[in-house]
């Protein structure tokens, strides 16, 4: 398994993590998490706690102890040892089974998420409202958010069309999405994310308005071509995905010729939002200067 080591801090205590680029998944050292949440004095005690916990989970019928992977992780002595690791879903399940005050906030959060998911199943409109609130809290502009919500609808129409043509969710979706991306941007989804320094983050959430619009054009065109040509094989769907992406690719090149600047940029959402913040702070500073001058 190809992975990148990384140390994350939780309350000034280290949690060893690994990023699997192929699976696009974070893995966390279970012993490290247990040590933090249960205030174990050392790794040996934490490992013993996890061993007892695994036995209890098995007795409860949980398959989690069996399904957890092992990765060689760097230890305090500078050597690598096989360590039990959990992905995000597995880690949250483990936290649920830890009777600790430090685990309680995570449990409350999981309960809240569960309640919200049930509410959204009953009233799907709540999903859109909560998405809007989340994007606003992250600092996105309302104009960008409107485009992003429209992009979600365009993507849904495309996947509905793929479903109707027998395209399988998962791998086949990913292959066709990559084909569209290469045709309009010149990069696969993974290459595009690497350009922007992303890992688990959503690529569309880190696009500029123009990048987002062109991606929407590529997907919407692919949907329309598919409806007209009614493909029956995966290779035919591949060809249509390429055609749809090429339409947006032509538009991208035309925009670049007119503006003289590249459409695709390496900045991600955090960097773009900082640019906006700096601009706003600059405007405020200029206004303060003008106000001061008028008072002199």
Using one digit for the tens of pLDDT, what is the confidence trace for 51-102?
Answer: 999 999 999 999 998 898 999 888 877 888 899 999 989 998 999 999 988 8
This model's pTM is above 0.75: no
Q: What angle do CA 4, 201, 247 make, to 5 degrees?
A: 115
Q: How far apart are CA 230 and CA 223, in angstroms?
A: 10
Question: Mean pLDDT over residues 114-140, rounded?
Answer: 87
Q: How far apart are CA 12 and CA 9, in angstroms?
A: 6
Element (H, E) at 15: strand 13-20
Task: Answer whether residue 177 shows pLDDT above 50.
Answer: yes
pLDDT, tens only, 221-233: 999 999 999 999 9
Of the candidate ranges 62-66, 76-80, 111-115, 289-293, the one whose mean pLDDT is the lowest: 289-293
Q: Are 179 and 242 in contact (CB under 8 A)?
A: yes
Q: Are 80 and 73 in contact (CB under 8 A)?
A: yes
69's CB contacts (< 8 A; 6+ apart) are 1, 27, 84, 85, 86
Q: How far apart are CA 176 and CA 181, in angstroms?
A: 9
């Amino acid at each position: 398994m190809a992975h990148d080591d990384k140390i994350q801090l939780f309350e000034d205590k280290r949690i060893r993590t690994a990023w699997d680029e192929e699976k696009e998944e974070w893995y966390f050292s279970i012993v490290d998490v247990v040590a933090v949440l249960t205030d174990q004095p050392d790794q040996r005690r934490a490992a013993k706690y996890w061993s007892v916990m695994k036995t209890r989970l098995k007795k409860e019928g949980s398959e989690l102890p069996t399904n957890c992977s092992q990765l060689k992780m760097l230890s305090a002595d500078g050597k690598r040892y096989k360590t039990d690791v959990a992905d995000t879903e597995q880690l949250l399940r483990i936290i649920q089974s830890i009777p600790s005050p430090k685990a309680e906030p995570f449990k409350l959060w999981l309960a809240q998420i569960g309640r919200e998911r049930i509410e959204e199943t009953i009233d799907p409109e709540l999903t859109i409202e909560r998405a809007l609130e989340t994007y606003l809290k992250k600092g996105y502009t309302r104009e960008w958010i409107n485009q992003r919500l429209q992009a979600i609808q365009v993507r849904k129409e495309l996947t509905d069309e793929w479903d109707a043509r027998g395209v399988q969710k998962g791998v086949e979706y990913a292959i066709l999405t990559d084909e569209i991306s290469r045709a309009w941007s010149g990069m696969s989804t993974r290459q595009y994310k690497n350009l922007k320094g992303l890992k688990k983050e959503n690529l569309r959430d880190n696009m500029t308005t123009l990048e987002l619009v062109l991606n929407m054009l590529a997907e919407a065109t692919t949907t329309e071509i598919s409806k007209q040509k009614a493909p029956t094989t995966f290779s035919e769907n591949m060809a249509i995905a390429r055609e749809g992406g090429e339409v947006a690719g032509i538009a991208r090149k035309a925009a670049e010729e007119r503006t003289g600047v590249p459409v695709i940029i390496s900045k991600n959402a955090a960097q773009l939002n900082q640019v906006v913040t700096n601009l706003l702070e600059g405007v405020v500073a200029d206004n303060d200067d003008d106000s001061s001058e008028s008072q002199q």
